[in-house]
Amino acid sequence: MARARFVNPIEGLVNGEVNFIRASWDRLSPLPGGKLVFSKLVGRAAPYTGTIGAVVEELRAGYSKVSLKDRPSVRNHLRSIHAIALLNLAELTGNIALAYTLPDDARFIVAGMSIDYVKKARGTILGECHLEPIQSSERAEYEVHVEMKDASGDVVARSILRTLVGPKTR
């Protein structure tokens, strides 16, 4: 007997006819608590990403800002934010900036990541990404740059996501 395959209901939305990230942000962000709801929704669509509890603060074509609160669950043994939590923040920040700009018929996947840790990350960290909006679903590779700063504005880390964009498969 064939075994039933679990289908994540979020997967259908992400791979649907419209740009799920853009449509969800545009609808939810103006509402009270909408940014938090959007952030939780992204965490459901990408469960590992949701483990750091980051909140999308701003999102528009070519730009994103995401905050990560310093708390025990994201700290290392030196009482600073763990390196992988920062990398996770970089991936989330860059991915939603890129995803928001994509045409409805495009999708993406990160093919590589690099990060430079500049100083210990303590307190709330803001990830920020600026990029040129993607105009086509034609297969191409892009570098997505993310910078992470502490409350005093000091850079704590810089990351580059090597991202492949292409058409959605039907």
Query: 156: domain range?
Result: 9-167
Q: Is residue 81 domain-resident?
A: yes
CATH number at residue 105: 3.10.129.10
Q: Is residue 70 domain-resident?
A: yes
6 pLDDT band (50/70/90 cuts)? Answer: very low
**Phi, psi (degrees; rounded to nearest 5) at 32:** -60, 125
Identify which of 142, 29, 160, 144 has the alpha carbon closest to the alpha carbon of residue 96. 144
Q: Is 81 helix (H, G, I), strand (E, B) or coil?
A: strand
pLDDT > 90? residue 147? yes
Q: What pLDDT score was predicted for residue 29?
A: 95
Identify which of 13, 9, 12, 22 has the alpha carbon closest to the alpha carbon of residue 103. 22
Q: Which helix (H) or strand (E) holds 109?
A: strand 106-117
What is the tally of structural domains in the chain? 1
Q: Is residue 112 domain-resident?
A: yes
Which residue reads 């690099």 in tokens?
Answer: 114
Interval 76-108: pLDDT, tens: 999 999 999 999 999 999 999 999 999 999 999
Q: Is residue 15 domain-resident?
A: yes
What average pLDDT does the structure give for the chain? Answer: 91
18 pLDDT band (50/70/90 cuts)? Answer: confident
Q: Is residue 110 domain-resident?
A: yes
Interval 41-59: pLDDT, tens: 999 988 888 999 999 999 9
Q: Is residue 19 domain-resident?
A: yes
Q: Which helix (H) or strand (E) holds 100?
A: helix 83-101
Q: Is residue 32 domain-resident?
A: yes
Q: Is residue 3 domain-resident?
A: no
pLDDT > 90? residue 16? no
